[in-house]
Amino acid sequence: MSALVLCMDVGFSMSNSEPGQEPSFEQAKKVIQKFVQRQVFAENKDEVGLVLFGTDGTKNGLAKDGQYENITVHRHLMMPDFELLEEIESELQPGGQQADWLDALVVCMDLLQKETMGKKFERLNIVLLTDLNVQTSADQLDVIIDSLKKAGITLQFFLPFPVDGEDRADGGGDGPGPSAAPARPGKGLSRQQTQGLEMVKNIMTSLEEEDSLEEVYTFSDALQKLSIFKRIDRRPMAWPCQLTIGSSLTIRIVGYKAVTEEKVKKSWAIVEAQSHQRDDVKRETVYCLDDDNETEVQKDDTIQGFRYGSDIVPFSKVDEDQMKYKSDGKCFSVLGFTKQELIRRHQFMGSQVVKVFAPRDDEHAAVALSALIRALDSLKMAAIVRYAYDRRSNPQVGAAFPCIKEKYECLLYVQLPFMEDLRQFTFPVLENNKKFTPSASQLSAVDALIDSMMLVEKDEDGESVDVFKVNHFPNPQFQRLFQCLHHRGVNPDDPLPPVEPWLKRDLERPQAVSARCQTALQDVKTKFPLKVVVKKKEQKTSADVFGSSADEPDAKKVKVDEETEFNLAEIAKGNITSVRLSCLKSVQIDAFAYALLTAPAHNVLHQSGNAELFNSYMQSLKRSVPDRNLQEFWDLLIQDALTLISKDEVDGSTFSKQDANQFLAFEQKEEVQAAPVQEDTGDVDDLVSVSCLFGCFNDKHIIYYICECNSDL
């Protein structure tokens, strides 16, 4: 847990701005808002205080005899809540005074020291947001630095301009963010600001040994990458264990979750729509048999079972616990060592990476682990280990890779798959496939595209720089959620706001890359003909009708009643007794057509012999066209000349070729008139499943297509 004081300059100089630029005050306020928003909605346990300086009034514990004036402790250390957000929104206003930022810093230190007394905080941090445009008295500087060090308080500065000119903007921030270029230091800085900047550098370099200036940010930096606030994030739990190699070699270790997917923690409760009360909604779960009456069963009358293939095996919780696999507790046991290249990156499993160190106080373990890490590193090998987090958790097999950094060494543990996790699919060949082999000019077009879209660029020193470091982006999901929660909290009746533009921008290709690749992209476009295959439902041919379904991720799913009987067997055997040609009446033609178009058709090839059956079906189908509203469907048959089987084709037929040809023509009007009105008789069963059988010719073979569909699409 950490404690942090936000210390913001609200003095009058903060309200000044260059034409067309947002005043520093507004920028700093946004930084604070964003930060507090994140703290509130992520329900961070850290305590936050807010100190303003340059305020018209004075309210702080040190103010006495005209000292520490115009400094206001707006909020004492506590967990930030929605109220704080509202206060910032409405009460945080520019002041008309100026105050010494060093004085404000002292007030913050005092606040931190007094209010953290008796509590345990891992980290104390002060965040100063100021334009440094005020006269400061530097005579106390050494004392201040000294007490900061003594109290273990860290500092972060947020300024309207970068501390070291261009280097800061590029080197510190990864990526050429689309932010407006911050003002150059030196240029346009007042005397106080130049002086203040020197003091900032002075403080920061004396507080930390190296990279101290990395904790000085610009406002625009901060707005873009809230990850800057990571410094105050919670630390992962330590997992002490022992690495074992055989039974005689043991090394004490400590593991930490280093990378894992951060999820939205808070779930949504269900409330009654009018009262907004949770208590008004009662949830009830009932158990029922899978029979027609859905007979209810008491919970106590149920037992637990598992499927074992086609069997369901009753297996009580008690028995299950008794018989289940028992692991003998926490472990990190080496099973053997293997070449790193045998472990494929794409076969990493699980959702985390664990960093493994030796315990802090155990230098012997550190030496032993270091020997292992270095041995593995130089041999390009990794350890395959059995990993169990604790007695209750399932054991894993994973790989421990050596990782040697400038400042430290560790093992990186990743879970690997079990045999049961893998699916071996075979895919058709791509290379050496004449149809798909790209030509030399196509390949060079792709090469040019790749060149123009490289996200790694050389800087002045010839060092390559990654301009799109995804791992520095905050997850937009959280930002968006917090923005919406904040908005709805403040304006309960407003619709949700649009996604913030900068958030959207972060998800786009960097502008420079986008501009650079235009020519190459055009070239690729002309050299590779890419054509959307027209959706089957738009082109009505029977081949399409019965082609396999093209299911997009969002396409409506056709629900199929598996158990619907249709008796293909009998057809194939040639002695049809009954074919379920369930009524199609009152089925919407759209739904029906849709089903035909999407449901994968089953076809059964059948040699001659059943012409009569087919013909009689076709006749009955034709009769039912008007009252089932199947005209469109019938049109499909016409289109593909799917008609009666004539004598010419199959001997058994009683129809001449002419009969067959005329068959499809429809005396529609008369039939419609003749047909009794049968719509909406409310026969629900008919609406549920529709089977249909019809055919088309293929030399001397008849292919029967059976389609079934669910009409409640």
Partner 1 sequence: MAEWRKYYPNEDDEVEEDEEDSGGDYKISGRDSLVFLVDASKEMFIKGEDGEPSNFDMTMQCVRSVYTSKIISSDKDLVALVFYGTEQSKNPRNSFKHVYVYHDLDSPGSQRLLDIEKLLGEKGAQFAEKTMGSGETSLGDALWCCSNLYSDIKLRLSHKRLMIFTCRDDPHRGDGAKDRQARTKAADLKETGVVIDLMHLTKPGGFDVSLFFCDIVSPPEDESELGLQIEPSRKLEDLQKRVRAKELKKRSQSRLTFSLGEGVNLAVGVYVLARTATKPSAVKLHRDTNEPVRTKTRYFHAHNGGILLPNDMKRAQVYGKKQIVMEKDEVDKIKKFDDPGLVLMGFKPMDRLKLHHHIRPALFIYPEEEQISGSSCMFTALLLQCSENNLFALCRYIPRRNTPPRFVALVPQREELDQSQSQATPPGFHVIFLPFADDIRTVDAHVGPTASDEQVDKMKEIVHKLRFKYKSDAFENPVLQQHYRNLEALALNMLEPEPIEDLTMPKVQMMNARLGPLAQEFKDLAYPPDYNPEGRPAAKRKTAESGGGAAEKKPKVEMSEEELKNHVAKCTLGKLTVPVLKDAYACKQFGIRSTGTKKQELIDALTMHLSK
Quote the tokens at residue 382.
């990794």
The Cα-based distances of 501 to 480, 506, 515 in angstroms read: 11, 9, 19
Q: How far is the CB of 406 from partner 1 (least distance, A)?
A: 10
- Letter string b/e over residues 270-305, b meaning 16 or more CB atoms within 10 A of that residue's CB: eeeeeeeeeeeeeeeeeeeeeeeeeeeeeeeeeeee
- Triad 89, 4, 53: Cα angle to 5°: 55
> Looking at beta carbons only, is 143 or 297 nearer to partner 1?
297
Longest C-alpha distance within the chain, in Å? 119
Q: Which two tokens stand for residue 331?
A: 């472990």
Q: Rounded CA gap, 284 and 306, in Å?
A: 24
Query: Considering the complex, what minimum distance in angstroms separates the CB of residue 457 from partner 1?
Result: 11
To partner 1, the closest distance from the beta carbon of 260 in angstroms equals 6
Q: Which is nearer to partner 1, 18 or 570 (CB)?
A: 570
Q: Which two tokens stand for residue 44?
A: 């961070």
In Å, how far from its chain's centre is CA 196?
Answer: 43
Q: Which is nearer to partner 1, 201 or 257 (CB)?
A: 257
Residue closer to partner 1 by CB (options 45, 149) is 45
- How far apart CA 311 and CA 638 sit, in angstroms, is 48
- Comparing CB distances to partner 1, the nearer of 203 and 376 is 376
Least CB distance from residue 114 to partner 1, whole Å?
17
Which has the closest alpha carbon to 644: 658, 630, 628, 660?
A: 660
Output DSSP code: residue 646.
Answer: B
Report strand pairing: 396-404 vs 409-415. antiparallel
- Coil, strand, or helix at residue 383? strand
Three-state SS for 310-336 is CEEEECCHHHHHHHCCCCCCCEEEEEE
- Smallest distance from the beta carbon of 29 to partner 1, in angstroms? 21
H/E stretch holding 7: strand 2-9
- Residue 531: CB minimum distance to partner 1, A: 5
We find the least distance from the C-beta atom of residue 501 to partner 1, in angstroms, to be: 13
In whole angstroms, how close is the CB of 529 to partner 1 at the nearest point?
5
Contact (Cβ atoms closer than 8 angstroms) between residue 568 and residue 606: no
Q: Are 399 and 408 in contact (CB under 8 A)?
A: no
> Which CB, 247 or 673, lies closer to partner 1?
247
Taking the complex as a whole, the smallest distance from the CB of residue 538 to partner 1 amounts, in Å, to 14
What is the edge-to-edge ordering of all strands in the sheet holding 689-698?
602-606, 701-710, 689-698
Nearest alpha-carbon partner for 4 in 41, 37, 35: 35
- CB of 443 or CB of 543, closer to partner 1: 443
Task: Return d(Cα 371, Cα 406) in angstroms, integer.
Answer: 16
Q: How far is the CB of 482 from partner 1 (least distance, A)?
A: 10
Angle at 166 between CA 165 and CA 169, to 5 degrees: 105
In whole angstroms, give the CA distance from residue 322 to residue 344.
37
Q: How many residues does the chain have?
A: 713
DSSP annotation string for 121-189: -SEEEEEEE----S---GGGHHHHHHHHHHHTEEEEEEESS-TTTHHIIIIISSS--SSPPPPPSSTT-
Query: Which one, 195 or 250, has the nearer CB to partner 1?
Result: 250
Nearer to partner 1 (CB atom), residue 145 or residue 703: 703
Q: Is the Cβ–Cβ distance between 43 and 266 less than 8 Å? A: yes
| Minimum distance, C-beta of residue 660 to partner 1, in the bound complex (Å) | 23
| Three-point CA angle 55, 58, 60, nearest 5° | 120
Q: Considering the complex, what minimum distance in angstroms separates the CB of residue 429 from partner 1?
A: 5
Both tokens of 234, joined, read 């919670």
Please identify, using beta-carbon distances, which residue of 113 and 603 lies nearer to partner 1. 603
Closest to partner 1 by CB, 309 vs 462, is: 309
Smallest gap from residue 22 Cβ to partner 1 (A): 25
Single out the residue of 423, 413, 400, 267 nearest to residue 351, CA to CA.
413
